Chains A and B, each alone.
Chain A
Amino acid sequence: MDRKIRVLVAKPGLDGHDRGAKVIARALRDAGMEVVYTGLRQTPEQIVQAAIQEDADVIALSILSGAHNHLFPRVMELLSEKGVNDVLVIGGGVIPEDDIPFLKKAGIAEIFGPGTPTKATIDFIRANLKR
């Protein structure tokens, strides 16, 4: 019953900025979650496969390259192709406000921009788990 929340922190795209991903991974771990970090340059295919393999409840995508409009929806597409509909997917990074409605429509539950306290993300995950 007391299964810990399992989170896959993933870096899609080609950018190497993972300060945010690592800080968030550590903060989630300190908040009692089980966290796996993929490392850099993961394709949507690799991310979805890792999420299934790790039985993740949450996928936290971090990107600063500007390719989010291409890569985030692709992750959602692949999840649904695999019949996975109960994983909470959130995103963070340098993502312009204008792009957020499009990403939410694609199924990303929330986008956390620069300056977000880690606590906001932790609270959001706890309140919005799908399983």
Chain B
Amino acid sequence: MNDNEAIRSGFEAYTEGVEKSLGKFPERKKKFVTGSNAPVERLYTPLDLEGRDYLADQGFPGSYPFTRGVQNTLYRGRFWTMRQYAGFATAEESNKRYKYLLEQGQTGLSVAFDLPTQIGYDSDHPLSQGEVGKVGVAIDSLADMEILFDGIPLDKVSTSMTINAPASVLLAMYIAVAEKQGVTPDKLNGTIQNDILKEYVARGTYIFPPAPSMRLITDIFEYCSKEVPNWNTISISGYHIREAGSTAVQEVAFTLADGVAYVEAAVKAGLDVDEFAPRLSFFFNSHNDLFEEVAKFRAARRVWARIMKERFGAKNPKSWMLRFHTQTAGSTLTAQQPDNNVVRVTLQALAAVLGGTQSLHTNSKDEALALPTEDSVRVALRTQQIIAYESGAAETVDPLAGSYYVETLTNRIEEGAWDYIRKIDSLGGAVKAIENGYVQQEIQDAAYTYQMDVEAGERIVVGLNKFQVKESAPEGLLKVDPAVGKLQEKKLAELRGKRDAEAVRKSLADLKTAAQGSDNLMPRILEAVRRYATLGEICDVLRGVFGEYQQKVVL
């Protein structure tokens, strides 16, 4: 009898024994499922991994297919980057928060912009009313950006900017601030999100239609590969897809399908895959189901490596590596008993670390209610530091590998992702699948199922549909002063009065000409930014040439 036969007969005996005792000791429920509604068996054994090949499926950290991680020593070399997403009100206020976070031991910056900035409107635009400085910092021109990074040496920090439709403009401002600090672009480290496809699907801060948006993105790939070589030119994001209600499999599948679309667009624009692919980065969610999430990160690395090597024929191993940032799942935070959120965030952060993330944002407990206070952000950062220094989770590479359960989940998520990617290919690719509403519909169906499960009590959310208490209204929440809008309007009026109007006009006219042609737009945008053209003015020129995206409303 070989090993597997012995295990099989043992497993049969075990199952028989369990079934005999179920009458007396029934299980808690008929059906066990993961956080994403995938079935969970009672027990996993080597039989679940029969026929799998360790070297082909898992291999070694730092080697293809990178299931076990993209670095060979992972956190034994250095911990993940602890990077809290922050920004609100004015550049002055946000600059203070960044300095506070750096003093507390944070190792990278992550800039949150307000919605007008993300949608390319100046603070004095009619649609900006009531929105200025609310969900992030208001940036209207290079002048604001200079204040935002005042006293922060840009050759010493890495900065992630959550900016998509106007990513080129904010990147240009960052480069221009660095120039003023005497830092050349080749010394800059950081990331722009720059992922428009998930904006159409899940996040909503789009401006232009898909075709010109893809051009702006590939222009950035090309420009940075020459001028800003250490910059992550895109952060292809599943985070918001998951927040919109997708399952873990959908998060991996739709994110990587978007990734395929970007690579195809860049290759079609004449770029060599190995020139830009090493700078592609990813951004995932970390949700409540610890094992499923760890498996998700492992599966995502494996699928991407296979896509890049087999589908795109990339030769450089760096092109095969899926490097990613993680944020804990905002949508799991409850407004009820907010202290419980610290525990949720801890489990989610642990999943990200066990899954081999390169950087991590931990949410603060009060984020179902408002932007976080300084105190609650500190607890969130301490959560990461405790995992790093005290839990032992960072002392060996990929510690859950070889778990029958985690490996089975990893295989299953990979298979589910391939099914979706094939389906999206058959629809003509991610852009088409988004334009016809397929991706949105799949996500909404999952979101609705989840909500109905919670309401039926089939899914328990502690403090929400079980273990409720009577609570008084929370106190001490962060409030953004509504005067921020007026302040920004005043700053803008002053700026428009004192800048060289003729130089601004010319730089915008040159940008328009370039947008109508096919030249790379980055140098033109950089020139306009240096002349203190505002974000709104630059985006208006592009709106004039490119038009605006009309949302496909799916219910």
| Interface positions of A (Cβ within 8 A of B) | 13-19, 22-23, 25-27, 29, 35, 37-41, 43, 65-67, 69-71, 94, 96-98, 113-115, 117-119
| Interface positions of B (Cβ within 8 A of A) | 115-116, 118-119, 127-131, 134-135, 199, 202-205, 243-245, 331, 334-336, 368-371, 444, 447-448, 451, 454-455, 461, 464-465, 473-474, 477, 479-480, 482, 551, 553, 555
Q: How far is the CA of A41 from the CA of B548 in the complex (A)?
A: 13
* Pairwise interchain contact B477-A96, C-beta atoms closer than 8 A: yes
Instruction: Enumerate the 9 nearest inter-chain pairs by beta-carbon distance, A residue then B residue, closest first.
Output: A16-B204, A70-B130, A67-B130, A66-B134, A14-B115, A97-B473, A39-B553, A114-B335, A67-B131
**Closest B residue to A67 using CB positions:** B130
Cβ–Cβ < 8 Å partners of B454 in chain A: 117
Q: Name the contact of B455 in the complex, choosing from A29, A66, A70, A117 (C-beta under 8 A).
A: A117
Q: How far is the CA of A18 from the CA of B537 in the complex (A)?
A: 28
Q: Is the interface of A mostly helix, strand, loop or mixed?
A: loop
**Closest B residue to A38 using CB positions:** B553
B553 → A minimal CB distance (Å): 4
* Pairwise interchain contact A15-B135, C-beta atoms closer than 8 A: yes
* Pairwise interchain contact B555-A13, C-beta atoms closer than 8 A: no
Q: Name the contact of B131 in the complex, choosing from A14, A18, A27 (C-beta under 8 A).
A: A14
* Pairwise interchain contact B244-A19, C-beta atoms closer than 8 A: yes
* Pairwise interchain contact B336-A115, C-beta atoms closer than 8 A: yes
Q: How far is the CA of A110 from the CA of B431 in the complex (A)?
A: 39
Q: Name the contact of A17 in the complex, choosing from B204, B370, B451, B455 (C-beta under 8 A).
A: B204
Cβ–Cβ < 8 Å partners of A16 in chain B: 199, 202-205
B366 → A minimal CB distance (Å): 10
Q: Name the contact of B127 in the complex, choosing from A14, A39, A98, A113 (C-beta under 8 A).
A: A14
* Pairwise interchain contact B134-A19, C-beta atoms closer than 8 A: no
Known: A16-B203, A23-B444, A26-B444. 14 other contacts (CB 8 A): A16-B202, A19-B244, A23-B245, A25-B555, A27-B451, A41-B119, A41-B204, A70-B130, A94-B368, A96-B370, A97-B473, A114-B368, A117-B455, A118-B455
* Pairwise interchain contact B119-A14, C-beta atoms closer than 8 A: yes
Q: Name the contact of A70 in the complex, choosing from B129, B444, B448, B555 (C-beta under 8 A).
A: B129
- Beyond A94-B369, A114-B335, A115-B334, is A65–B134 a contact (Cβ under 8 Å)? yes
* Pairwise interchain contact B555-A35, C-beta atoms closer than 8 A: yes
Q: How far is the CA of A37 from the CA of B552 in the complex (A)?
A: 11
* Pairwise interchain contact B244-A13, C-beta atoms closer than 8 A: no
* Pairwise interchain contact A69-B204, C-beta atoms closer than 8 A: no
* Pairwise interchain contact A19-B245, C-beta atoms closer than 8 A: yes
Can you give 17 A-B contacts (C-beta < 8 A)?
A14-B127, A15-B115, A15-B135, A15-B204, A16-B205, A25-B555, A26-B444, A26-B448, A40-B551, A41-B127, A65-B135, A66-B131, A67-B130, A94-B368, A98-B473, A115-B335, A115-B464
Cβ–Cβ < 8 Å partners of B461 in chain A: 115
Cβ–Cβ < 8 Å partners of A113 in chain B: 335
- Beyond A97-B474, A114-B334, is A26–B555 a contact (Cβ under 8 Å)? yes
**Closest A residue to B552 using CB positions:** A39
Q: How far is the CA of A113 from the CA of B368 in the complex (A)?
A: 9
Cβ–Cβ < 8 Å partners of A26 in chain B: 444, 448, 555
**By CB atoms of chain B within 10 A, which of A14, A37, A43, A118 has the most?**
A14
Cβ–Cβ < 8 Å partners of B130 in chain A: 13, 67, 69-71
